[in-house]
Amino acid sequence: MSMAVAVLGLGAMGSRMAARLLAAGHPVTVWNRSPDKAQPLVAQGARVAPTPAAAARDADVVIAMVRDDAASNSVWVDPHDGALIAMKPGAIAIESSTLSPDYVATLARLAEHAGVKLLDAPVSGSRAAADGGQLVFLVGGDAEVFEHASPVLKAMGSAVHHVGPIGHGMLAKLATNALLGIHVTAFAEIVGLLQRHGASAAKVLQAVSATPVWAPVDAYLSGTMLSRDFRPQFPIELIAKDFGYVLDAADGAEHAPTAAAALQVFKRAVEHGLGDLNMTGVVKLYGSN
């Protein structure tokens, strides 16, 4: 069954998610703060709205995919242009950006006040997964609302997991990114260490890949680090933002010292002007690579 969908935020991820929804046959209305990013989607059949409220007015499902808590607050909650006040009764709001659980708890209260059903549904997977409809959705919220929204999520993702009540989608996403980012920073150090010792990092890592410690993501991490392919997929600047949320959710560095150390590495990379590079670009902080 096709549902009318509004997509708010057409950055690297939101634009690709909107394209998948169009390809699946859903009528899609889009809005982006910088309007020029909507044009390629118009060519694919999307309608463009001038504000989040205008995009949301007739939608069955409204999806936001923006940078951070502040951006999300402005697209949902703005008293003039925000989507929540404009949504029709029974419509579903889906927040897919990676945000802090505290902020999502506040958003949930505001959504309830506005009579809107909210799911937090952040995604694992980057630009290629979004292009191919292979995102993994980690969803928090009411189980019935989740069932109702699932066909829309499945147009963009290969897996859709309901993990608990509202906010738990973000916890699952922060857990995923904490593990990913700690892996990235550790891998970057190891590559630097190997190179400083004059070892062939490619050869050594090939051998390590035959041991049980090798994780599924490691081929991607080592491949991009060794080939120096730092074209942005998941930029350093965004994963640094997520580690800030991890530390907040953990109630500070004393409860999450490993995540705190990884955050310092990502921050240092941003200070060195590497923020726009893919996350694996942190390897540039170490060794000769």
- Least separation in angstroms between residue 253's CB and ligand NAP is 21
Q: Does 94 bind ligand NAP (CB under 6 A)?
A: no
DSSP letter for 87, please: P
Footprint (CB under 6 A) of ligand NAP, residues 231-260: 233-234, 238, 242
Counting contacts by CB under 6 A, is residue 56 touching ligand NAP?
A: no
**Does residue 278 belong to the site contacting ligand NAP (CB under 6 A)?**
no
Strand locations in the chain (E): 5-8, 28-31, 47-48, 61-64, 92-95, 117-120, 123-124, 135-140, 157-164
**Does residue 23 belong to the site contacting ligand NAP (CB under 6 A)?**
no
The DSSP annotation for 233-281 comes to SSBHHHHHHHHHHHHHHTTSGGG-HHHHHHHHHHHHHHHTT-TTSBGGG
The residue whose Cβ lies closest to ligand NAP is: 11
Smallest separation, CB 158 to ligand NAP (Å): 14
Among 29, 98, 185, 222, binds ligand NAP (CB under 6 A): 98
Instruction: Supply φ then ψ for residue 94, to 5 degrees.
Output: -120, 120
Work out the number of other CB atoms within 10 angstroms of the CB of residue 211. Answer: 7
| 275 lines the binding site for ligand NAP (CB under 6 A) | no
Does position 161 interact with ligand NAP (CB under 6 A)? The reply is no
Measured over the CA atoms of residue 248, residue 254, residue 256 and residue 260, the dihedral's sign is positive
Residues binding ligand NAP (CB under 6 A): 9-14, 32-34, 37, 65-67, 70-71, 74-75, 97-98, 123, 126-127, 233-234, 238, 242
